[in-house]
Amino acid sequence: MTPLFLLLLGVWACFPVWATKFEMKDLAQRNLVAINSDATYERTLAVSHFVSGWVEVNPDNLETFNAEFEMDVRTLDTGLELKNIQLRDQLLSSQEFPIAKAVCQGSYSGQKLKLLDAKAITLKSDCTFKIKNVQKTFPISFKMTYFKESEESRQRLTGNLMKISANWDLELSQFSISIPSKYSALIAKTMQVSIDMVGTDRLPNNALSLPEGIKKK
């Protein structure tokens, strides 16, 4: 090898390996966020499929994790209109603050992590949440599974896929959300939040499954 080639090789080795962005935007609305309120007298479960975002990692050398997610709060659905009003309008002020966002970052230098096909891995990441215009940062553990494109995986989306899921407790007081006294025994002060999403590194060309952003009501 020539000295010039060795020099270029050394320079290239100093740069980090490029990460891959997995877009989690699904027109079929199969991604979801679930909120579980287990209060004194009743449990309320609200679900929204109007969630989108992206995850950026290098599956072969997982040194960093970057992600962004957002959900249209106005689409949370409990199955009961009265509960929808309590949760969306009175608690979360969804008309004034319709979008909840999260920005997550994690660093795992020196751990030599690699995402193997169809093998789940759990990583902790610091996530900054913005709800009702209030920002708070706390760690979240993500379960991630990487799928190389196959005939089976194409039943969901084209391209290589990334599936992520996470569960965490959300204290309403952290975001200056107060529960009206008349609902104090019906809505929990701390809610359990779950997220489950699948993204692809190659957006589909099929118009029936093209992804798009959050739909506004």
204 with 210: CB under 8 angstroms? yes
CATH number, domain containing residue 35: 2.40.128.110
Specify the 3-state DSSP secondary structure of 146.
strand
Tens digit of pLDDT for each residue in 98-108? 999 999 999 99
pLDDT band at 3 (very low <50, low <70, confident <90, very high): low
pLDDT band at 213 (very low <50, low <70, confident <90, very high): very low
Q: Helix, strand, coil % (nearest 5) of the chain?
A: 15, 45, 40
Residue 210, in any domain of the structure: no
Residue 36, in any domain of the structure: yes
pLDDT surpassing 90 at residue 74: yes
Residue 216, in any domain of the structure: no
Residue closest to 159 by CA, chosen among 119, 198, 196: 198
Specify the 3-state DSSP secondary structure of 97.
coil
Residue closest to 46 by CA, chosen among 99, 96, 82: 82
- What is the residue range of 160's domain? 21-200
Residue 79, in any domain of the structure: yes
Residue 6, in any domain of the structure: no
Tens digit of pLDDT for each residue in 80-100? 999 999 999 999 999 999 999
Tens digit of pLDDT for each residue in 173-196? 999 999 999 999 999 999 999 999
Residue closest to 69 by CA, chosen among 145, 153, 129, 150: 129
Beta bridge pairs of residue 130: 101, 135
Residue whose tokens read 């996530």: 127
- What is the number of structural domains in the chain? 1
Residue 185, in any domain of the structure: yes
Query: Could you tell me the two tokens for 74?
Result: 């106005």
